[in-house]
């Protein structure tokens, strides 16, 4: 399976697209729209990243009828926020033949059911429309005596400094 080989060689938490911000430094490369996609992507595909793992259906709470072969990428990945930058958290929809429903790879009930087998692999904190990486989560949680406004201001300054240094 081509996809499995790809995920064995790559860190699923930080997949960098080809091209990127330094493409203009090489004279032999032509620019196209893909050249401007420079943010890394976190692609949570547990059945390709972990050997013999099949995600658990959040409705049936079993993985025996989940078919990962016809899985397909979701249309709208979550924005994954971090201390220094953001990226997208992408995953696949997997169909369950028992209940006839599809579920995405970062479905909270599915992740909870698979907690023992994915511990240490999936270390992002999920909200309804976005996610936070472990570093950002730790930064916010370990500042209990600091106001939300001060945390936000500090994160804005860190982001601006990081962007300036990157440029």
19-29 residue pLDDT tens: 555 555 555 55
pLDDT at 24: 56
Nearest CA to 43 out of 81, 74, 5 is that of 74
Please say if the pLDDT value at position 4 is more than 80.
no
Average pLDDT taken over every residue of the chain: 84
Token pair, residue 164, equals 């300036």
């Amino acid at each position: 399976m081509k996809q499995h080989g790809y995920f064995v060689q790559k860190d699923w938490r930080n997949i960098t697209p080809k091209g990127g911000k330094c493409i203009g430094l090489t004279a032999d490369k032509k620019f196209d729209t893909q050249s401007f996609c420079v943010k890394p992507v976190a692609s949570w595909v547990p059945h390709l990243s972990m050997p013999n793992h099949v995600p658990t259906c959040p409705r049936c709470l079993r993985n025996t009828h989940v078919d990962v072969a016809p899985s397909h990428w979701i249309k709208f990945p979550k924005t994954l926020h971090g201390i220094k930058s953001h990226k997208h958290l992408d995953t696949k929809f997997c169909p369950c033949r028992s209940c006839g429903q599809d579920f995405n790879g970062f479905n909270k009930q599915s992740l909870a059911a698979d907690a023992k087998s994915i511990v240490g692999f999936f270390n992002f904190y999920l909200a309804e429309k976005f996610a936070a990486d472990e570093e950002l989560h730790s930064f916010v949680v370990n500042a209990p005596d600091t106001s939300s406004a001060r945390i936000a201001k500090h994160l804005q300054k860190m982001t601006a400094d990081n962007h300036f240094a990157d440029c």
